[in-house]
Amino acid sequence: MKQVFLVFLGGGAGSVLRYLVSSNLNPAYNLPMGTFLVNITGSLIIGLVLGLGLKQELLSPNTSLFLATGFCGGFTTFSAFSYENQQLLKTGDFLHFGIYAAGSIVLGIAAVLLGLYLARLLEGFL
């Protein structure tokens, strides 16, 4: 039951932060920049957390669960990403659709890899 509560708390915190970032940044750009930033940042965070927690055992399993499954799960959002891409297609904005979709996927994966790499670098300092 403790693990469920940790995921609940982390997910709530991540969801609130995602809402704040997206609601402030999305209206200011032609692209859904808030969601984009949240998804790339969340990818970096999960790479760091998994690298430090699971592989290097520098974070407890409960901390990793809170941060990776809870916070990152609530913070990042594939459903909003999918909806926003559908909206760009619906309005015929194919350029921004291509930039947003490809950029999110490529940079998201790159951010996870960067997070794992940084976790390895931090291992020597911790």
CA gyration radius for the chain?
A: 16
Residue 98, annotated as binding a ligand: no
Break the chain into its structural domains and give their ranges.
2-123
| Dist CA 7 CA 74 (whole Å) | 9
Residue 91, annotated as binding a ligand: no
State the DSSP string of 68-120. Answer: IIIIIHHH--HHHHHHHHHHHHHTT-HHHHHHHHHHHHHHHHHHHHHHHHHHH
- The CA-to-CA distance between both ends of the chain, in Å, stands at 30
Q: For residue 18, name the pLDDT band (cuts at 50, 70, 90).
A: very high
Segment 59-103, tens digit of pLDDT:
889 999 999 999 999 999 888 899 899 999 999 999 999 999 999
Is the pLDDT confidence value at 115 over 70? yes
What predicted TM-score, i.e. pTM, was given to this entire model?
0.84
